[in-house]
A = this chain, B = another copy of it.
């Protein structure tokens, strides 16, 4: 039973992601998800209290992938600048799904910005990543790979800006560019700007 329940949950998530991307988050009802996933409303509400919980689970799944990639990239890098550069070199799969996912993100944030109760859920990952990258930049300063006059908080926001900004550009031009290569080059410029110069 446990196994089957997990399968149902995974099916709801996969079907919802497709519908959100195709029809829009707002235009997709719980009933549409149930029909397309061939599950009962009872089964749906067993797993998710509301449609926004489906979005939250999708978001958490994507971010868990991202976190795993970050850990791998940093585990085999000698210092923070090489870790950031290594991460940039593995963004291909992220950009591959960027078009439909950007749409879902954009629409959810838009909706959330008009609903204070879900706004905190929508922006929580942002604040978490500011902390994560601030910590990494601080580590870089301590290990001597990043200049001591770099402000960790602003530098973290710059790293996140590069990521968000290229993700948005990939949405504008999904076919036209090698976004992983552009990300590598952009991150290299940013990292060079933070790095302690070789004497």
User: What is the interface of chain A, defined by CB distance below 8 A to chain B?
Assistant: 24, 103, 106-107, 109-110, 113-114, 123, 126-127, 150-151, 154-155, 157-158, 160-166, 168-169, 171-173, 177, 181-182, 185-186, 188-194, 197
Contact = CB atoms under 8 A, between A and B. Distances in A.
| Copy count, this protein chain | 2
- The A interface is mostly helix, strand or loop, or mixed, namely helix
A190 B158 contact: yes
Contact of A166 (B103, B157, B169): B157
22 contacts: A106-B106, A106-B109, A106-B110, A113-B171, A123-B172, A123-B173, A150-B189, A154-B185, A157-B166, A157-B177, A157-B186, A158-B162, A158-B186, A160-B165, A161-B161, A161-B163, A161-B186, A162-B165, A165-B165, A168-B168, A190-B190, A192-B194
Nearest to A163: B165
A84 to B, nearest CB: 12
B162 A161 contact: yes
Determine which residue in A24, A110, A161, A169 has the highest number of CB atoms from chain B within 10 A of its CB, and name it. A161
A162 B172 CA distance: 16
Contacts of A169: 126, 157, 160-161, 164
A106 B167 CA distance: 13
A123 to B, nearest CB: 5
User: Lowest 10 CB-CB distances: which A-B pairs, in order?
Assistant: A161-B165, A193-B193, A165-B165, A158-B186, A192-B193, A154-B185, A189-B193, A164-B165, A123-B172, A161-B166
Contacts of A123: 172-173
